[in-house]
Amino acid sequence: MNQISTSEIINQVRGTKSVPGVCIICPWHCPTEVFVRDNKVVYVRGNENAPNKTTRCVKGVSSIHLSRDPDRFFIP
């Protein structure tokens, strides 16, 4: 897996909208901050404004791929 530098992250989130949310992969439901551009998720991280200033585990960090899965369900 390639490491991503801080400057690459800054470039990814430039011009994006920050949306607070929670990770729903496991029962901990960690607070998250999702960066969206043109209705597409470009970056996900722990929400630094949350009371517990959470970080995310590796499953939570890779959750960005769930939103990009072409086989994702959009209806119940």
Residues that bind ligand SF4 (CB under 6 A): 23, 25-26, 28-30, 56-57, 59-60
Nearest to 40 by CA among 8, 60, 12, 9: 12
Comparing every residue's Cβ against ligand SF4, the nearest one is 60
- When the beta carbons of 28 and 48 are compared against ligand SF4, the nearer one is 28
Apex CA 60: angle with CA 6 and CA 19, to 5°?
A: 70
- When the beta carbons of 57 and 64 are compared against ligand SF4, the nearer one is 57
Q: In the complex, what is the shortest distance from the CB of residue 52 to ligand SF4, in angstroms, rounded to a whole number? A: 11
- When the beta carbons of 42 and 47 are compared against ligand SF4, the nearer one is 47
Q: Burial of 60 by CB count in 10 Å (0-12 exposed, 13-18 middle, 19+ buried)?
A: buried
